[in-house]
Amino acid sequence: MSLTRYTLAIIKPDILEKQSKSIEKILSTIQEKFIIHEKKQLQLTIEQAEQFYSDHRGKFFYERLVCFMSRGPIIPLVLSEKNVNSSSSIKPWRDFIGPTHRDKAREINCLRGQFGTSDTKNAFHGSGSEKEAVDEIKFFFPDFKSDL
């Protein structure tokens, strides 16, 4: 399987801090549609969060985002969609978590709508493109190798 078949997901600190009892349920929900290839729990330093979100530097929410993402443990995951006909997992995972903004996410059935509490504390991350996924997988799982 090519590396571009995977996506990088993150369960953000708001879940581990305030909704940790939901983690097993969240992981089972994810596994209904996706294979979890890698999973770990860690806490980012401020510098690592700044690096991970460097594309957002200068935006009004950047400092809030970096502070939030480094304030507690997170769970990064390497996922691929179970649907064998699907050539990319980027969009399926982003559709599964739903819109960035809380109010829009609450209008539909999606993970962010269920667990997100604000535009920043939106509970989940999903890579935005195949290049981003490759870079983000390397960031958290430098030894990850695809199946083929």
Residue number with CB closer to ligand ATP (57 or 147): 57
| DSSP calls for 63-82 | HHHHHHHTSS-BEEEEEEES
Shortest approach of ligand ATP to residue 1 CB, angstroms?
A: 22
Please tell me whether 83 is known to bind a ligand: no
Residue number with CB closer to ligand ATP (89 or 122): 122
**Interface contacts to ligand ATP, rule CB under 6 A:** 56, 61, 65, 100, 119-120, 122, 125-126, 128
**Exposed e or buried b for every residue in 39-54, given b needs 16+ CB within 10 A?**
eeeeebeeebbbebbe
Please tell me whether 61 is known to bind a ligand: yes
Which residues lie below 8 Å from residue 124, measured CB to CB, with a gap of 6+?
A: 9, 10, 11, 12, 97, 111, 112, 115, 116
Active site annotation includes 37:
no
**Whose CB is nearest to ligand ATP?**
100
Shortest approach of ligand ATP to residue 77 CB, angstroms?
A: 13
Residue number with CB closer to ligand ATP (68 or 141): 68
Smallest CA-to-CA distance from 36 within 23, 45, 19 is with: 23
Spatial distance between the Cα atoms of 52 and 33, rounded to a whole number of angstroms: 26
Please tell me whether 115 is known to bind a ligand: no
Catalytic residue, chosen from 37, 56, 101, 125, is 125
Instruction: Please give the annotated binding residues for ATP, written as ranges.
Output: 12, 61, 94, 100, 112, 122
Please identify every residue annotated as catalytic.
Answer: 125
